């Protein structure tokens, strides 16, 4: 698991290659990633936006921007965690993702960005 901490928000990420959802003959490699967001601050925060940089070793970089995560804009109280699972497909066996979340500090209405640490997307057969 890869972990980072920015402004009191801890982001932990793990990814897994999903051979069962991939179509290797057509160069489609599917990955799931699980993200744990932990609020170590003494105030409530709300996840407002996401920004992804998706690197695929044989293709142009994809930039993805959107509201919240998996259809939610969760409010995370002090000491609590928000966990979600999502997915990404690549057209090569090796890539990575990184990015940031925009959070709202609920008590002051200030926004701030939290880094999502870079994590690898590697199809298991390529490791052998």
Taking the CA atoms of residue 19, residue 30, residue 16 and residue 103 in that order, the dihedral angle to the nearest 10 degrees is -160
Mean pLDDT across 27-46: 98
- Would the pTM count as exceeding 0.95? no
Rg (CA), the chain: 16
How is residue 106 written in tokens?
């609920």
Q: Tell me, what CATH number does 102's domain have?
A: 2.60.40.1470
Q: 3-state DSSP: the chain helix, strand, coil percent, rounded to 5?
A: 10, 70, 25
Enclosing domain of residue 94 = 2-127
Average pLDDT value for residue range 34-61? 97
Q: Is the pLDDT assigned to residue 128 strictly greater than 50?
A: no
């Amino acid at each position: 698991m890869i972990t980072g901490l920015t402004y009191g928000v801890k982001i932990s990420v793990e990814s897994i290659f999903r051979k069962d959802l991939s179509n290797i003959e057509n160069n489609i490699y599917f990955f799931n990633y699980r993200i744990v967001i932990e609020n170590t601050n003494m105030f409530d925060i709300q996840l407002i936006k996401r920004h992804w940089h998706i690197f695929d070793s044989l293709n142009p970089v994809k930039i993805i921007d959107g509201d919240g995560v998996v259809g939610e804009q969760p409010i995370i109280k002090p000491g609590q965690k928000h966990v979600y699972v999502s997915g990404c497909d690549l057209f090569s066996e090796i890539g990575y993702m990184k990015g940031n979340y925009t959070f709202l500090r609920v008590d002051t209405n200030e926004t701030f960005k939290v880094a999502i640490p870079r994590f690898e997307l590697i199809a298991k057969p390529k490791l052998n």
